[in-house]
Amino acid sequence: MELTDWVKVAAFVGAGLSMGFGAIGSGMGEGYAANKACEGMGRQPAVADELLRTMLVGQAVAESTGIYSLVVALLLLFRDFSVVNFMEIPAFLAAGLCMGLGAIVPGVGEGFVAGSACESIARNPETSGVIIRTMLVGQAVAESTGIYALVVSLLLIFVV
């Protein structure tokens, strides 16, 4: 095989690793948030609309690291392979691993925060405003590590 073929293999495997691992955290986090929202609706049907809104906002934030993984995967898949160098092989594999693994825990953590917010609103609906604000701040902090993984992955793709 030629060098171009090896670089393509690395990019394609990196894309698969990015999206494969990246979907785990988002999926688990979103499922957890939905689970807790459903439990809350079962206990407090009167606040079902507020729980639904909170769940959807929480899930949207938990999905962001999955979207970062998708972006990295697409960049690797549709990379211009007309000019290649040997260092792209480990860089593309590392970019996929970095983003894929870097997306797991933020997605799960953000989903846990959203699920806890739904539980809290079901227990005490009057505090929904402060709970949602706290949820968003907590999710923003948890998101930072996913953003770091995205930045490093982009550097590995474009700086090599």
Task: Measure the CA–CA gap between 100 and 56, rounded to whole angstroms.
Answer: 23
Closest-CA residue to 32 (of 94, 131, 87, 110): 110
82 three-state secondary structure: coil
| Mean pLDDT value across the chain | 96
Closest-CA residue to 103 (of 42, 22, 6, 5): 22
85 three-state secondary structure: coil
Q: Which residue has the tokens 């594999």?
A: 93
What pLDDT was estimated at residue 160? 78
The packing angle between helices 128-158 and 48-77, to 10°, is 0
The CATH code belonging to domain 3-79+103-158 is 1.20.120.610
- Report pTM: 0.93
Domain boundaries, the chain: 3-79+103-158
CA angle 119, 121, 122 (to 5 degrees): 65
Write out pLDDT tens, residues 131-143. Answer: 999 999 999 999 9
Write out pLDDT tens, residues 96-138. Answer: 999 999 999 999 999 999 999 999 999 999 999 999 999 999 9
